[in-house]
């Protein structure tokens, strides 16, 4: 989200879009190793 204004050049439009995305969003922070990484390491020969 910190680079949002780099993607949308018009700050007013960028803020409006971001407000609509974030309004109903839930933030989930996961800790620990990625299960995909663990599965990938098991598949390596």
pLDDT tens figures, 1-45: 677 778 888 989 988 998 888 888 888 898 888 888 767 676 766
pLDDT value at residue 37: 77
Number of structural domains, the chain?
A: 1
Range of the domain at 9: 4-43
For tokens 């839930």, name the residue. Answer: 26
The predicted pLDDT at position 8 comes to 85
Cα angle value 24/34/32 (rounded, 5°): 85
Predicted local confidence at residue 44, as pLDDT: 64
- Of 23, 19, 36, the residue nearest 11 (C-alpha): 19
Instruction: Look at residue 1 in the predicted model and tell me its pLDDT.
Output: 65
- pLDDT attached to residue 7: 85
pTM: 0.46
């Amino acid at each position: 989200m910190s680079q949002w204004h780099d993607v949308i050049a018009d700050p007013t439009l960028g803020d409006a879009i971001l407000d609509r995305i974030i309004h109903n969003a839930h933030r989930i922070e996961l800790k620990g190793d990625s299960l995909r990484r663990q599965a990938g390491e098991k598949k390596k020969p």
